[in-house]
Structure 1
Amino acid sequence: MNSQLFSDRLTLTKLASHDWELIRSIYTNPALMNHIGSTMSEDAIRRNFDKELAPWSLESTHWLTWIIRETASDNEVGLISICTRNREKLTAEIGFILLEASQGKGYATEAIKRVIHFAIDTHGFHRFTAVCSEEHIASRRVLEKAGMTLDEIASECTEINGRLVNDCFYSLER
């Protein structure tokens, strides 16, 4: 499997053991996790990280994660992942988190489009889904700019920092 994907401005590199500090810093950052979920303990982050380092295939239950970097500067931008959600219907869920300094520059949209192209060409996926909280307007815009459409808003589905929030379910068929 390709360990790197390239787009106009970005290099996406498959998660590797040397990415631990970046991953730990993302999942312990209250500002980054504000619309995603509670910050995680270091042990929980390590368990997920170790799973995601394993080889990935359509049958995998863990996420396939890439670190996003600006190609020109090699600065870290964030992460993007896919996970098989339905093998028979070749459906993948997409998730992403961008560092605060990289938000609002179109990087998430660019990375999503590149990962979708990869997932279609390499694994035959033809349906993509994503979930975000209703109040996370920036992520909703990113998903829509990437071509996804809002299918449903489900009331009080996810607990974030002690309160239930509405989830927006998006999809894209190719």
Structure 2
Amino acid sequence: MSFTIVVTSHVNSGLEDEPARWGSFFGSMAMSNLVPMSMMSTLQTARLILRPYQESDREAFVSLNCDADVRQRMDGPLSLDSADSLFSKILAAERTGWSFSWAIVSKAGLEYIGHAFIVGGEAEDYELGYLFVSKVWGQGFGTEAVTRIVQHGFDSLGLDRLVATVDVGHARSIRILEKTGFELEETKEEEGCPYHLYVARRPTPL
């Protein structure tokens, strides 16, 4: 289960470019009123801890991204070398103090169960993405994680809008988006594959 906030489905097809796309994100933050994050924030929900990555997560991260079931809607699994290289880039970004990528860990057993990130997208939009190991699908972790990250994006990062894409017909991810405040904006097509663009906007103060 995954989709990008622009989170699993059509969404996370851009996961391999995640570190490179942080550049536009950080540049936009420097030129805006967004709150700069000099340190990676650890987020929590009732059942999850979303924390910075550490070297000990490498094997689990590589396994997640080489899993054909997990990445079936993301252009297929990564190779071992590609997944390992991506993990190294994530760790390097964290050392700069500018990283918006989280290891998702269950509070029950402190087990690594997924990956989440926010990156800069097109037209000054910001994308959130995530992946979960297949054994925890259907337990509500996606909704829980997305809800917390969206809150963090609006309340702590100062974002006004988050986008997410999802393959047409990917009912599970569509339900997660709609339950966490995203609304369908338009349906597009890329390389013959139709997908929905969903948008979440910062709530207007009463």
Provide TM-score, normalisation by structure 1.
Answer: 0.82
Alignment match, 1:161: none
Contact 1:65–1:79 (CA under 8 A) maintained in structure 2: yes
Structure 2 residue 70 is matched with structure 1 residue 32: yes
Q: Secondary structure at the match of 1:74?
A: coil
Q: Secondary structure at the match of 2:121?
A: strand
Residue pairs, 1:12-161, within 5 angstroms: 12-55=50-93, 64-85=100-121, 91-155=125-189, 157=190
How far 1:107 moved relative to its partner?
A: 0.8
Work out the CA distance in 2 between the residues paired with 1:51 and 1:136. Answer: 30
Work out the CA distance in 2 between the residues paired with 1:134 and 1:25. Answer: 27
Count of paired positions:
161
How far 1:37 moved relative to its partner?
A: 1.6
Work out the CA distance in 2 between the residues paired with 1:37 and 1:135. Answer: 16
Moved over 3 A (4+): none
Work out the CA distance in 1 between the residues paired with 2:70 and 2:57. Answer: 17
How far 1:20 moved relative to its partner?
A: 1.1
Q: Secondary structure at the match of 2:149?
A: helix
Q: Which has the higher contact order (CA 8 A, sep 6+)?
A: 2
What amino acid is the match of 1:123? L
Contact 2:52–2:102 (CA under 8 A) maintained in structure 1: yes
Work out the CA distance in 1 between the residues paired with 2:115 and 2:170. Answer: 17
How far 1:77 moved relative to its partner?
A: 2.4
What amino acid is the match of 1:122? S
Q: Which has the higher strand share?
A: 1
Over the aligned positions, Cα root-mean-square deviation in angstroms equals 2.1
How far 1:86 moved relative to its partner?
A: 6.1
Work out the CA distance in 2 between the residues paired with 1:29 and 1:55. Answer: 24
Contact 1:52–1:64 (CA under 8 A) maintained in structure 2: no
> Which consecutive unaligned segments of at least 5 residues does structure 2 have?
1-38
Contact 2:188–2:195 (CA under 8 A) maintained in structure 1: yes
How far 1:169 moved relative to its partner?
A: 1.1
Contact 1:82–1:94 (CA under 8 A) maintained in structure 2: yes
Work out the CA distance in 2 between the residues paired with 1:168 and 1:26. Answer: 25
- Percent identical across equivalent pairs? 27
Q: Secondary structure at the match of 1:81?
A: strand
How far 1:43 moved relative to its partner?
A: 2.2
How far 1:17 moved relative to its partner?
A: 2.0
Alignment match, 2:17: none
Provide TM-score, normalisation by structure 2.
Answer: 0.70
Work out the CA distance in 2 between the residues paired with 1:17 and 1:134. Answer: 36
Work out the CA distance in 1 between the residues paired with 2:63 and 2:127. Answer: 23
Structure 2 residue 197 is matched with structure 1 residue 169: yes
